[in-house]
């Protein structure tokens, strides 16, 4: 029986057999229009993110300033004013790729840890289930919503608050402040996960961007593994699926990831794109987990015929396994995204039907 995109994704997450390998795109990466509609007609799904909660900040004022650089990239400077001081961050937005990245992190000096703590302690979370249900109904069977809870504590500190280089300096120079902030972030995440566990969301998602050359095994074992397993235990009691964005080099972490109770490794990076674990190895070591493979943009830059051959060989490797799906989960240059999505739409329904 023919399945919907939503049913295919849920089948893989339940370790059931879909009618074909699920494939989808992150909603912010593919423009709505003729080609996108054609892809959905061929079975492509949409992945959206929406929290099932809202936040309230108390005793904090936020001022925002916008500017543009010479390339037309938008720069947003956001400053948080609190009774214990002010901190600011700068974020760039690329209009072509719809990407955002932090170019100036909030924590710049030791005194900033106190301000971040104040902001966290004065941020409150509340259920927002009705708007989540409305979004689910609007999407229908065309895809699924990941209820993003943000990064886990360590990853939030590295990727959103301090930056990679300064994190490692502070980790050794100011260990007490770093540890205390990680503990506070975990307390905050515990509250969010409790709301998520009771929400109408089916998939709860940590935006962690794990790669072993930054979150090396000692850090992962101390901070990530116990956190994931604690939250997975809570979510599984409520029949939720727990996914984590792991898009980097994972070879040095493969056994630790195996020991986690997470259900989905999202945006898995192939060796051809810069990852360091083969499909065969991933299939063997993570048999109990669903794996969403990122279809690499770099392949498309080498031409359509090479991309078709690459996808054909990839499908041979993952079929008839039932724990794989394919995503377009990274920025695609405007010159190639149409070809990419049509190549997937042409080959997957023909080749990968079980």
**Does the pLDDT value for residue 101 go beyond 90?**
no
Q: State how far the Cα of 127 lies from the Cα of 3, in Å rounded to an integer.
A: 32
pLDDT tens for 277-293 read: 999 999 999 999 999 99
Query: Looking up tokens 């990274």, which residue turns up?
Result: 330
> Which of 192, 178, 267, 254 shows the shortest CA–CA distance to 223?
178
pTM of the model: 0.94
Q: Which residue did the predictor score with more confidence, 159 or 320? A: 159
pLDDT at 353: 54
Contact 158, 152 (CB under 8 A): no
> Tokens for 236?
């599984």
In the chain, the DSSP E strands lie at: 23-26, 45-49, 53-57, 61-68, 74-82, 85-94, 99-104, 123-127, 143-148, 203-206, 241-245, 264-268, 290-294, 324-328
Contact 29, 100 (CB under 8 A): no
pLDDT at 98: 60
pLDDT tens for 177-232 read: 999 999 999 999 999 999 999 999 999 999 999 999 999 999 999 999 999 999 99
Average pLDDT over residues 332-338: 81
> Which of 125, 291, 129, 127 shows the shortest CA–CA distance to 201?
129
Percent pLDDT > 70 in the chain is 97
pLDDT at 107: 98
> Tokens for 101?
């990245």
Contact 129, 196 (CB under 8 A): no
**Does the pLDDT value for residue 95 go beyond 70?**
no
Beta bridge partners of 290: 264
DSSP sequence for 49-97:
E--SEEEEE-S-EEEEEEEE-TT--EEEEEEEEETTEEEEEEEEEETTT
Total Cβ atoms within 10 A of residue 326:
24
**Does the pLDDT value for residue 84 go beyond 60?**
yes
> Tokens for 210?
């794990």
**Does the pLDDT value for residue 139 go beyond 90?**
yes
Res. 166 pLDDT band, cuts 50 70 90: very high
DSSP state of 295: P
Q: Which residue did the predictor score with more confidence, 84 or 319? A: 84
Query: Looking up tokens 């423009």, which residue turns up?
Result: 31
């Amino acid at each position: 029986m023919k399945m919907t995109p939503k049913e295919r994704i849920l089948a893989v997450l339940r370790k059931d057999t879909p009618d074909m390998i699920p494939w989808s795109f992150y909603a912010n990466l593919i423009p709505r229009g003729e080609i996108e509609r054609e892809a959905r007609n061929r079975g492509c799904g949409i992945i959206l993110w929406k929290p099932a909660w809202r936040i309230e900040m108390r005793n904090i004022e936020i001022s925002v300033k916008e500017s543009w650089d010479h390339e037309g990239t938008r720069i947003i400077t956001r400053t948080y004013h609190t009774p214990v001081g002010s901190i600011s961050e700068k974020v760039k937005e690329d209009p072509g790729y719809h990407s955002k990245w932090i170019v100036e992190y909030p924590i710049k000096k030791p005194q900033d840890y106190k301000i971040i703590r104040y902001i966290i302690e004065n941020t409150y979370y509340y259920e927002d289930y009705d708007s989540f249900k409305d979004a689910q109904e609007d999407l229908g069977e065309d895809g699924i919503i990941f209820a993003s809870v943000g990064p886990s504590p360590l990853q939030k500190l590295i990727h959103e608050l301090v930056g990679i280089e300064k994190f490692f300096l502070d980790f050794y120079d100011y260990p007490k402040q770093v540890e205390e902030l990680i503990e506070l972030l975990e307390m905050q995440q515990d509250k969010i996960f409790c709301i998520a566990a009771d929400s109408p969301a089916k998939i709860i998602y940590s935006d962690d961007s794990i790669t072993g050359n930054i979150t090396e095994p000692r850090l992962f074992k101390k901070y990530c593994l116990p956190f994931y397993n604690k939250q997975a235990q809570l979510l599984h009691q409520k029949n939720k699926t727990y996914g984590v964005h792991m898009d980097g080099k994972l070879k040095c972490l493969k056994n630790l990831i195996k020991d986690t109770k997470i259900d989905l490794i999202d945006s898995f990076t192939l060796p051809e794109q810069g990852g360091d674990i083969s499909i065969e190895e991933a299939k063997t070591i993570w048999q109990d987990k669903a794996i969403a493979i990122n279809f690499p943009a770099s392949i498309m830059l080498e031409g359509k015929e090479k991309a078709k051959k690459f996808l054909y060989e990839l499908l041979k490797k993952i079929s008839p396994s039932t724990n794989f799906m394919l995503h377009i989960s990274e920025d695609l240059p405007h010159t190639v995204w149409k070809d990419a999505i049509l190549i997937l739409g042409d080959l997957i329904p023909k080749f990968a039907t079980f």
